[in-house]
Amino acid sequence: MPDARASILVVDDEPDLRDLLATSLRFAGFEVTAVASGRAALDAQQQSPADLIVMDVMMPAMDGFTAVRKLRARGDDVAVLFLTARDTADDAVQGFTVGADDYVTKPFSLAEVVARIEAILRRTSARRGDEESKLLRLADLELDTAAHEARRAGEPLDLTATEFALLRHLVANAGRVLSKAQLLDHVWGYASDADGNIVETYISYLRRKVDAPFGEPLIHTKRGVRYVMREPR
């Protein structure tokens, strides 16, 4: 049973599905608010922030991707689980790119949704309850895990929550070669062969932000499918 204080915002324009999700999540022990649109979700999250948002992707006026982009743009790092009828790799990557923590494709079981929510909340709780201010360093890269801030050569790096979590794991395991499956399991909480593109996408984001502007690369690829972070030689 989850912590009763964990609050969920359900966002779906289909009344029957929205009500079913809200009822099921309340039964599972969560506090639940349900709204019918992306705009209503933005307003609800501003007025009373939830711990996690269950967000439908395909909605009129403002779809789920747009709503989450707007949340991230105003600095809200709330955990997000997307519900989508689209199950291609590109759609999954787009969801993670805008800042999702996970996604479930329709049709889905309510038990799966609850399990995914609990897994996301465990991960986010672990991140926020990490060791008190702890600094990780590699060469001229520094991460403050408590403040969720990163700098290289003294310059602040603008990282999303997922980018920071991935970078933190790489730095904490500097010198160790990590597979896509290991990164998926640690950062996203599950492993699937179909989701390897997500890791590649986020590694490319980190290289653009952490390596490219500073000349000396810290992130390296091994045999095209594994990654290691090490100091310049």
Q: What is the Cα gyration radius of the chain? A: 18
Q: Residues 30-89: pLDDT tens digits?
A: 999 999 999 999 999 999 999 999 999 889 889 898 999 898 888 888 889 998 876 655
Quick one: pLDDT at residue 194?
47
Quick one: pLDDT at residue 128?
57
Mean pLDDT over the full length of the chain: 84
102 Cβ contact list (under 8 Å, min separation 6): 81, 82, 116, 119, 120, 188, 189, 190
Q: Taking 50 as the threshold, does the pLDDT of residue 1 lie above it?
A: no
Handedness of CA 216, 173, 160, 182 (dihedral sign): positive
Quick one: pLDDT at residue 92?
61
User: DSSP state, 57?
Assistant: S
Quick one: pLDDT at residue 86?
66
Quick one: pLDDT at residue 186?
76
Question: Within the chain, where are the H helices?
Answer: 15-27, 38-47, 64-73, 89-97, 110-128, 161-172, 180-183, 196-206
The architecture CATH gives domain 135-229: Orthogonal Bundle (1.10)
Quick one: pLDDT at residue 90?
60
- At residue 28, what is the residue type? A
Strand partners for 193: none
In the chain, which residues fall in CATH 3.40.50.2300?
7-128
pLDDT band at 131 (very low <50, low <70, confident <90, very high): very low
Q: How many other β-carbons are positioned within 10 Å of the β-carbon of residue 166?
A: 23
The CATH class given to the 7-128 domain equals alpha beta
Q: How many residues does the chain have?
A: 233
Q: Is the pTM of this model over 0.95?
A: no
Is residue 7 within 8 Å of residue 31, measured between CB atoms?
A: yes
What share of the chain has pLDDT > 70, as a percent? 85
In the chain, which residues fall in CATH 1.10.10.10?
135-229
d(CA 65, CA 57): 6
